[in-house]
A and B are shown apart, each in its own frame.
Chain A
Amino acid sequence: MAHTEWRDAPELPDFSLLKRLARDQLIFLLEQLPGKKDLFIDSDLMSPLDRIANVTILKQHEVDKLYKVELKPIVSSSDQLCFLIRPRIQTVKWISDLVNADKVAGRFRRYKIIFTPQKFYACETVLEEQGVYGDVTTDEWNFYILPLDDDILSLELPEFFRDNFLEGDQRWVTTAGSALHLLQSVYGSFSKVYGIGRCAKMVYESWRELMEEGEQRTRQPEFAKVFLVDRDVDFVTPLCSQVVYEGLVDDLFRIKCGSVEFGPDVTSSDKSIKVMLNSQDKVFSEIRNEHFSNVFGFLSQKAKNLQTAYDKRRGMDIQQMKAFVSDELKGLKQEHRLLSLHIGASESMMKKKTKQDFQELLKTEHSLLEGFEIRECITYIEEHINRQVSMIDSLRLLCLLSITENGLLSKDYRSLKAQYLQSYGIKHLLTFANLRQLGLLEEQQAGETLTVMESKVGKLVNDKTVGKLTDAFSSLAKKSNFRALSKRLALVPKSGEEYDLRVPRDMAYVFSGAYIPLSCKLIEQVLERDGWTGLEEVTRMLNGQEFAVTGGSSSSEARNKTDAQRIVLVMFLGGCTFSEISALRFLGKERGCRFIVVTTAITNSARLLEALLDNHA
C-alpha cells in the first residue's frame, strides 16, 4: 500500500530556487537601509519569513531586534525602523501613527516599509493622508511563492479568499498573475492553460499581459499544462471533514506554513514539539495520503520493522557495530523519533475521531452528499446547534446542507438561523449575511409556493410524514445544481457497495469512498478530454467562465514525450485543502503524471468559515 516511489513518475523541478531568489532580494532590500535597525514583521509573515531567511541571516544584515506587528505602541530604542508587512491599510495606518507620535515627541528616526509581495496605491494614499509620505521610504519585496513541499507552492495569502470572493476586491489578482509569471520565467513556459471561474480568467489575463510585456524566452517548458480553478467553483469539498492523515492533522492541529505543533497529549511529555511536515519526513511521506483508518496499522508495522533493524545489533562484531553506528543508527534514531510522534498524533486522533459523535457527524455529511434522509440530517444539525457543540462545525453543516440542497426551505432557514443566533449571539447576523452573499447558505426563493402547500399538507398528517413530503417536494421542485453535477460527474459512488480504503480505486477514498472532490474531478475530466468539450452542461451549471488556451509554440508539441510534459500545475484561487492535494496525488499516480499545486493558501473548513465571520476588522 505504501508507494515510496511512483512508477514512471516524472521528476519535479527544483523549487528551492524560488526561496533563494526571495532571500537574495530581501537581503538586498535590508542593505538599502545601512546600519543597525529594528525589524517589525506582520504576524502572518513570521512563519513564511522563517522558511526564507532565519534570524541568523537577518542579524547578519544588521537587524538588531525583531518584533511582531501588533498594532500597539512600540518600545524600540533604535533610530532605524524597518517594517516588513503585507500591504494592508490597517498596518500602514498604524505605522503612520507611530511616525506622527515620534514627530510630536521630537524624535528623529528613519523608517522603511517593505511591502510584500507588492505595494498598493491605497497604502501610499494612507501615508499621504496621514502626512508622513515624505518621512517613510517604501519598497517591494516580490516574495510571491513559498514552496511548502516538493509539489505544493503557496502564496500564503489567506485573505485572498475573503477579499476576492466576499468583498469583491480584486487586488490580489495581479499578485496571482505575477506568481505564475515568476514560475514561468524561472521554469519555462506552458503549452496549455485551462481554467474555470471569474477570478481564474482575470488571473490568466493579468498573467498574459505580463508575458506580452516581458521579453520572450523560448525555453523547453517544464510544465505541460496549467489549470486555474476558483474556490467558489467547489465549496462542497473544503466543507467536508477530512479523513486523510495530512488533512486530519490540519483539521485537528492546524498545519501552519508546512509545520505543526504537537501538544503534550501527542508528545507524551510536558512540552510541545514543532515538526515540519513534508516529503523529507520519511514516515510522514508514507502516510500523509492514507485514509486514517489505515494509518495506525501501518505505523505499528513500521515500528516492528524498526525494532528488527535495531535488533540487528545483536550478534554483531566490533567492526559491524562500528559501521552500524556510523551509517544506520542516526537514521534509525531519526525515524524512531518521527515514528513515535506520528503514533502519538494518530492515537490522539483515534481518541477524538472514533467516538460516536464523529461517526455520526460523518454519517450526516455522507447523507447530505448523497441527498438521503435530509430530514434526519436537519434534526441532527438542530441538535448540534442546540447543544452548542461547536460554532464552526454547526455552521459548516448548515452550509453543506444549503449547497447540496440548493438552498434551505424558508421555514428551515429561519428556524435554524434563529437557533444558531440564540446559541452564538446576534453578531452572527453578519456572518449569515456574508454566507448568503457567497451563496454558501441561502434561502430557497422559488420554492415558496411549495412551502405553502407543504404546510397545508402538514396540518393534515403527522410530523414524520411532513418530513418525507418535504423531501419529495424539494426534489421535485428544484433541480439542485450540486445534485445534478454529482450525477453528471458521478461524484458520489453508489451506496451500499463496499469500499476497501486500503486499496483505493478512485479519488473518493479521500472522503472514505463517499464522495469524489468536485474540483479534482473537473481537473481529471478536462485533462482527459484536453479541453472543455463534452462538459458544456457541467460548466453551465458552474456558471461558465471556463477557458482553454494553447500557449506554447508548435515546437513544444513535438517534444510531447518529455518528462516535463507530464507535469501539471494546478492553481487554486482562494485556497485548497490537503484532501484535494491527496486526491490529485492519487490521480497523478493513476495517470503517470504529477501535479504541482499552487494555492493562495492551504485551507480547510474551519479556516474557510472563520474568514467569513465578522468579528475581526
Chain B
Amino acid sequence: MSLKPLDVHFKVHLDLKKIELYEMGWNLKDGLRECLVAAAPYGGPISLLKGHNRRSPSARPQLEIYSSSGLPLASFPWKSGVVKQLGWTVSDDLLCVQEDGTVLVYDLLGGFKRHFSMGNEVSQSQVLETKIFHSPYGTGVAILTGALRFTLATNIDDIKLRRLPEVPGLQGAPSCWAVLTQDRQSKVLLANGSHLFILDNTACTPVTPPGLSPQASSIVHMCDSFSYKYLALLTDSGHVWMGTSNLKEKLSEVDTKIKTPPKQMAWCRRPKSQQPSAVVMWDGLLIVVGECKETIQYHLDDDSILVPELDGVRIISGTHHELLQEVPGACEEIFKIASMAPGALLLEAHKEYEKESQKADEYLREIKEQSLLSEAVRQCVEAAGHEHEPETQKTLLRAASFGKCFLSNFPPEQFVSMCRDLRVLNAVRDYTVGIPLTHTQFKQMTVQVLIDRLVYRKLYPLAIEICRYLKTPEYQGVSRVLKHWACYKVQQKEESDEVIAKAVSVKLADAAGISYSEIATKAYESGRTELAIKLLEFEPRSGEQVPLLLKIKKSPLALSKAIESGDTDLVYTVVMYLKNELNRGDFFMMLRNQPVALSLYKQFCKHQEQDTLKDLFNQDDDHEELGNLYVKASYKEQRLEARIALLQSAVDEYYKAKNEFSAKTTEDEMRLLRFQRELEEKKGELLVGFSLHDTMTTLLSVGLHKQAEQLYKDFRVPDKRFWWLKLKSLAEKEDWEELEKFGKSKKSPIGYLPFVEVCIKHHNKYEAKKYVSKVTPEQKVKAHLAVGDMEGAAEAAIERRNESEISTVLSRCSATTDHLLMERLNRAKATAVKK
C-alpha cells in the first residue's frame, strides 16, 4: 500500500476512493522503469516490453503478458523490429506498432495472429509517435510520421488508411496530440506551442479552448475522457483546463503549481457524474484536479502507469494495482459519517437487529415514517454493487433483504440480479482470473463479452459455470464456449485424431446448436484433415458439411453428402465445383456413379452446353438418347441439308442402340423431307416439315392425287388412313362425282357410314342417301338416322331386333309427326325385350 489515508472516504471538494485491487503477482526487478507498458481497459491484460530500445541482436527485448493481477500469461523474446508502441484492441488482442509502421497482432496468450502495414508513406518516413484508440467502429491506430504527417486507421479489422492533411507551420513534433471521435469521425487534436488544431479528413482547423489562462505559452499534455466527451489540457504554466471535447464549454481550470511536464494524464470520472476530475501523474506524484482550486495529492513510491476506465482510473505500479474512482452516490449516502439517508438507516437497523436490539425497530420506524423503505432497499442494493469487498457486499445485501421483508410489493428483480452479478464479478475478480471489473463496467460490457474474454483466456470451465449460473440460452452460452473449447482442442498436436474426436463428441454430445463444421474447419486449418473428416461425421446438417469437404478436396464424399441431404441446390454447388476442378473424364466418371447429380448436370447442359450433353451420352454409350438429341437438333435446324445430316446421325445412333423402329422411322422422315422438297420446287406448295398425314392432306386438297397416291404406296400408309384422308378432302372440295367414283373403286376399308356422315356434314343429303344402302347392317340404323330417314331407321332397327337401337330411334321420333312409327317401334321393343 503506497499511501495510508486514502482508503477512507473523505470529502474535501471531491469524493474519491482508492481501492487496492491486487498485490501484483509478478516479480519485476526494475519495476516498470524502462518498460513499454500497455494495459487493456475493462480489467484487461497488461503487456510489458522490457528494453525495447536495445537494438543489439544479442540482447533481444522480452515481451511479457500478464493478467491484471500480475500472473504471467505469455512471455517470449521480441525478434521483430523496434517497437514504438504497444496497445490492446477491444477484443483483447495485442497490437505492437513498429518503427516502420508495421503492426503485429498477437492474441493474449502470445500467439501471433497477423500483421498489417500502415502504408508506404509511414514505412518511409518512420513512426515518430503512435496512439491506439477505441471508437464505436472498433480499435484504431493513429501514427505521426517522421514527416510530421498523421496517418489513421479507424478499424484495424477493416483497414482503410487515411492520411490527414498537413498542419501549417509545424516545424517539429507537436507538443502533444490526441485522437477524438466526433460526428462519427475520428479526428486528431494537436497542440503546437499554444496553438491548437483539429485535423479531420479534409482540413486543418485552428481552435481555441474558451477561457484558457493567458499565461500559458504552450500546451504540454492533453487527454480525452473514456467517452470522448471531455477534454483536459495541461499548460506549461501548470494549469489544467477541463472542458467538453468540442471545445465549446469550459468546466473548470485548476493550477497544479507544477511546471514540469507530467508523465501521464487521465480522466477519472464516472458516467453521469456532475463533477469533472482528471488525474495527472509525475514521477512520484499524483494530483487529482476537480472543480475547486484545491487539488488532492498522492505520493507514489514507484513508477506507475494510469489506465483510464469507464468509471475511474486504474493505477498500476511494480508492486500494486489500485483503482481510483469517484465515490458512487449510493455508497456516499450510506457510508457518510452520521448520514441520515434511508440506506444508512436501514444498514444501521439491520446491524441492531443482528445484535438483537430493539433499536432496529426504531430505525425502521424512522425510515417507514418517511415512507422511504423501498428507497432504502434500493440504495443498499446499488451500493452493494459498487463495493469491492465481498463482506461489505454481503452486509449491504443482507440489510436490503431485511428491509424487503417489511415491503409488500417490492419487485425482487433488482435484488436477485445484483446477487447474481456480484457472484460472477467476485469470481472473475479472483486473483487467479484477474479481471477487476466494476459493476458499471460489467453492465456496459455485457455477459456475452465477459464470456468471450474468459474464453480467450481459455478459462472454459469458469465460462461454462457462469453461463449455467446466469442461465444464458445454451446457443449463446454453453454451446458457444464448448465450440471454442473444441476449436482449441483440435489444435493440440500431441493427441491422436481418435482421442480428440472422441473427447469432442463426448463433451459436445448434448449441447444444442453446435456447429461441428466450424470445429472441423479449425482442425483442417491446423493441418489435421483426417480429424476434420471425423468431426464432420458428427455434423447433422449436410449443408454445413459440404463446403468444408470440398475445401479439403474430399469431393466424392462431398457429392454423396450433398445428395444425401436431398438439397438439390447443394448438389448443384458440388457439381459445378467439380466441373471446374476435375478433368472432364474424371468428372464424368464421378457423375456416372451418382444418378441424381448426373440428371442435374444434364439439365444444366441442356440449356447451357449442348455439346457437353453429347459427350456425356457418348461416354455412357447411350445411343438412344444421342439419337433423340440429334432428332431434337434437327427440327431446330432451318436448312434442309443440315437437317437431313442430323437425322442421318440419329439413324446411325438408333441402329447402334438396336432400335430399328426409330431408325426406320427416321429414315422415312428423311425420305419424306426429300420428297417434300422436290415437290416444293416443282409445284410451289409449302410442304417441308409437315407430317406425312398433313403432306397428303395438302396434296389432295390442291389436287395432286398422283403424288398423294405415291406417298400412300411408298410409305405403306394404312388403307384406312388413306380412305379417311381422301374422303375428307373430296368432301371438302364438294367433288361428289369423284367421291362416288372413289367409293366404288373398291370395298371401303372404313365402311360406308363415314361417307354418309361426311356428306351430311357438308349438308348434302342427296349424296348421303346414295351410301346408306352400302352400310353394314350394324351401322344401318345410324346411317338412316344421319340422313334423317326415320322410317328407314325404324325398319332397320326392327329388323335387327336390337332393343337399344330401337330406343335410340324412339328417342329421335317426335310425338306429333311419327305417331304410327312410334307405335310400331314400341311393339317391336316389347318383343325384343321378351326375347
- The interface of chain A, by Cβ under 8 A from chain B, is 89-90, 93, 120-122, 125-126, 129, 163, 167-171, 173-174, 202, 205-206, 209, 213, 382-383, 386-388, 414, 417-419, 421-427, 429-430, 433, 614-615, 617
Residues of B close to A426: CB separation below 8 A: 631, 665-666, 668-669, 691
Contact present for A213 and B541 (CB under 8 Å): yes
Residues of B close to A424: CB separation below 8 A: 691, 693
Contact present for A206 and B599 (CB under 8 Å): no
Chain B, 590-616, CB within 8 A of any chain A CB: 595-596, 599-600, 602-604, 606-608
B724 is contacted by which of A89, A387, A421 (Cβ under 8 Å)?
A387
Contact present for A167 and B566 (CB under 8 Å): no
Rounded to whole angstroms, the CA-CA distance of A93 and B604 in the bound complex is 12
Residues of A close to B603: CB separation below 8 A: 163, 167, 169
Contact present for B718 and A419 (CB under 8 Å): yes
Identify the closest chain A residue to B697 (Cβ): A388
Q: Does B587 contact A (CB under 8 A)?
A: no
Identify the closest chain B residue to A432 (Cβ): B662
Residues of A close to B608: CB separation below 8 A: 89, 93, 126, 129
Q: Does B246 contact A (CB under 8 A)?
A: no
Residues of A close to B560: CB separation below 8 A: none
Q: For the complex formed, measure the closest distance between the CB of A481 and the CB atoms of chain B, giving whole angstroms.
A: 24
Q: For the complex formed, measure the closest distance between the CB of B520 and the CB atoms of chain A, giving whole angstroms.
A: 19
A168 is contacted by which of B596, B606, B724 (Cβ under 8 Å)?
B596
Contact present for A386 and B595 (CB under 8 Å): no
Contact present for B599 and A421 (CB under 8 Å): no
Q: How large is the interface on B (under 10, 10 to 19, 20 to 34, 35 or more residues)?
A: 35 or more
Q: For the complex formed, measure the closest distance between the CB of A229 and the CB atoms of chain B, giving whole angstroms.
A: 18
Segment at the A interface, from B221-229, B289-297, B316-324, B568-576? B568-576
Q: For the complex formed, measure the closest distance between the CB of A462 and the CB atoms of chain B, giving whole angstroms.
A: 16
Rounded to whole angstroms, the CA-CA distance of A352 and B572 in the bound complex is 48
A206 is contacted by which of B567, B595, B635 (Cβ under 8 Å)?
B567
| Bitwise interface map of B from 653 to 693 toward A, beta carbon under 8 Å scored 1, else 0 | 00000000110011011000000000000000000011111
Identify the closest chain B residue to A129 (Cβ): B608
Contact present for A174 and B599 (CB under 8 Å): no
Contact present for B718 and A169 (CB under 8 Å): no
Contact present for A89 and B721 (CB under 8 Å): no
| Given the contacts A125-B576, A614-B632, A174 and B691 also touching, CB distance less than 8 Å | no
Identify the closest chain B residue to A414 (Cβ): B661
Contact present for B724 and A386 (CB under 8 Å): yes
Chain B, 671-730, CB within 8 A of any chain A CB: 689-694, 715, 717-718, 720-721, 724, 728
Identify the closest chain B residue to A421 (Cβ): B665
Chain B, 530-585, CB within 8 A of any chain A CB: 541, 566-570, 572-573, 576
Residues of A close to B491: CB separation below 8 A: none
| Given the contacts A121-B573, A429-B665, A90 and B607 also touching, CB distance less than 8 Å | yes
Identify the closest chain B residue to A386 (Cβ): B721
| Given the contacts A121-B572, A174-B569, A205-B566, A419 and B721 also touching, CB distance less than 8 Å | yes
Contact present for A427 and B576 (CB under 8 Å): no
Contact present for A425 and B662 (CB under 8 Å): no
| Given the contacts A426-B631, A430-B632, A89 and B566 also touching, CB distance less than 8 Å | no
Q: Pick the most buried of A202, A419, A424, A425: most chain B CB atoms within 10 A of its CB.
A: A425
Q: A120-B572, A174-B566 are in contact. List 20 more A-B contacts (CB 8 A).
A: A122-B569, A122-B576, A129-B608, A168-B600, A169-B599, A170-B568, A171-B568, A174-B569, A209-B541, A213-B541, A383-B720, A383-B750, A386-B720, A386-B724, A387-B728, A422-B717, A425-B690, A427-B631, A427-B635, A429-B628
Rounded to whole angstroms, the CA-CA distance of A222 and B292 in the bound complex is 73
Q: For the complex formed, measure the closest distance between the CB of B649 and the CB atoms of chain A, giving whole angstroms.
A: 14
Rounded to whole angstroms, the CA-CA distance of A418 and B608 in the bound complex is 33
Can you list 20 residue pairs at the A/B interface with Cβ under 8 Å? A121-B569, A122-B572, A129-B608, A168-B595, A169-B600, A170-B566, A171-B572, A202-B566, A206-B567, A383-B724, A386-B720, A386-B721, A422-B692, A423-B691, A424-B693, A425-B694, A426-B666, A429-B628, A429-B666, A430-B631
Q: For the complex formed, measure the closest distance between the CB of B351 and the CB atoms of chain A, giving whole angstroms.
A: 50
Residues of A close to B668: CB separation below 8 A: 426
B596 is contacted by which of A125, A170, A387, A429 (Cβ under 8 Å)?
A170
B665 is contacted by which of A125, A129, A386, A418 (Cβ under 8 Å)?
A418
Q: Pick the most buried of B566, B567, B568, B624: most chain A CB atoms within 10 A of its CB.
A: B568
Contact present for A173 and B693 (CB under 8 Å): no
Rounded to whole angstroms, the CA-CA distance of A424 and B635 in the bound complex is 14
Rounded to whole angstroms, the CA-CA distance of A205 and B567 in the bound complex is 10
Rounded to whole angstroms, the CA-CA distance of A157 and B573 in the bound complex is 23
Rounded to whole angstroms, the CA-CA distance of A206 and B750 in the bound complex is 56
Chain B, 742-791, CB within 8 A of any chain A CB: 750
Rounded to whole angstroms, the CA-CA distance of A615 and B636 in the bound complex is 9
Contact present for B567 and A174 (CB under 8 Å): yes
B566 is contacted by which of A173, A386, A425 (Cβ under 8 Å)?
A173
Contact present for B606 and A617 (CB under 8 Å): yes
Contact present for A422 and B721 (CB under 8 Å): yes
Q: For the complex formed, measure the closest distance between the CB of A41 and the CB atoms of chain B, giving whole angstroms.
A: 21
- Give me the 4 closest cross-chain CB pairs, A-B, nearest first: A168-B599, A425-B691, A171-B568, A386-B721
Residues of B close to A429: CB separation below 8 A: 628, 631, 662, 665-666
Q: For the complex formed, measure the closest distance between the CB of A421 and the CB atoms of chain B, giving whole angstroms.
A: 6
Residues of B close to A213: CB separation below 8 A: 541
Contact present for A422 and B715 (CB under 8 Å): yes
| Given the contacts A169-B599, A170-B568, A213-B541, A122 and B604 also touching, CB distance less than 8 Å | yes
Rounded to whole angstroms, the CA-CA distance of A414 and B660 in the bound complex is 11
Identify the closest chain A residue to B757 (Cβ): A356
Residues of B close to A617: CB separation below 8 A: 606
Rounded to whole angstroms, the CA-CA distance of A213 and B512 in the bound complex is 11
Rounded to whole angstroms, the CA-CA distance of A125 and B573 in the bound complex is 9
Rounded to whole angstroms, the CA-CA distance of A486 and B693 in the bound complex is 38
Contact present for B628 and A433 (CB under 8 Å): yes
Q: For the complex formed, measure the closest distance between the CB of B756 and the CB atoms of chain A, giving whole angstroms.
A: 13
Identify the closest chain B residue to A173 (Cβ): B566
Identify the closest chain A residue to B662 (Cβ): A429
Identify the closest chain B residue to A417 (Cβ): B661
Q: For the complex formed, measure the closest distance between the CB of A95 and the CB atoms of chain B, giving whole angstroms.
A: 14
Q: For the complex formed, measure the closest distance between the CB of B808 and the CB atoms of chain A, giving whole angstroms.
A: 11
Q: For the complex formed, measure the closest distance between the CB of B418 and the CB atoms of chain A, giving whole angstroms.
A: 31
Residues of A close to B567: CB separation below 8 A: 174, 206
Q: For the complex formed, measure the closest distance between the CB of B542 and the CB atoms of chain A, giving whole angstroms.
A: 9
Identify the closest chain A residue to B567 (Cβ): A174
Residues of A close to B570: CB separation below 8 A: 121
Q: For the complex formed, measure the closest distance between the CB of A322 and the CB atoms of chain B, giving whole angstroms.
A: 49
Residues of B close to A169: CB separation below 8 A: 568, 599-600, 603
Contact present for A167 and B631 (CB under 8 Å): no
Q: For the complex formed, measure the closest distance between the CB of A563 and the CB atoms of chain B, giving whole angstroms.
A: 34
Residues of A close to B568: CB separation below 8 A: 120, 169-171, 173-174
Residues of A close to B596: CB separation below 8 A: 168, 170
Q: For the complex formed, measure the closest distance between the CB of B646 and the CB atoms of chain A, giving whole angstroms.
A: 12
Chain B, 92-134, CB within 8 A of any chain A CB: none
Rounded to whole angstroms, the CA-CA distance of A121 and B569 in the bound complex is 6
Residues of A close to B720: CB separation below 8 A: 382-383, 386
Residues of A close to B717: CB separation below 8 A: 422
Q: For the complex formed, measure the closest distance between the CB of A317 and the CB atoms of chain B, giving whole angstroms.
A: 47
Residues of B close to A209: CB separation below 8 A: 541
Residues of A close to B599: CB separation below 8 A: 167-169
Q: For the complex formed, measure the closest distance between the CB of B510 and the CB atoms of chain A, giving whole angstroms.
A: 15
Contact present for B624 and A171 (CB under 8 Å): no
Rounded to whole angstroms, the CA-CA distance of A388 and B567 in the bound complex is 44
Contact present for B628 and A430 (CB under 8 Å): yes
Contact present for A422 and B693 (CB under 8 Å): yes
Rounded to whole angstroms, the CA-CA distance of A202 and B566 in the bound complex is 7
Rounded to whole angstroms, the CA-CA distance of A417 and B606 in the bound complex is 26
Rounded to whole angstroms, the CA-CA distance of A172 and B55 in the bound complex is 68
Residues of B close to A126: CB separation below 8 A: 608
Residues of A close to B692: CB separation below 8 A: 421-423
Rounded to whole angstroms, the CA-CA distance of A129 and B579 in the bound complex is 13
Rounded to whole angstroms, the CA-CA distance of A478 and B41 in the bound complex is 86
| Given the contacts A167-B599, A170-B596, A419-B721, A120 and B607 also touching, CB distance less than 8 Å | no
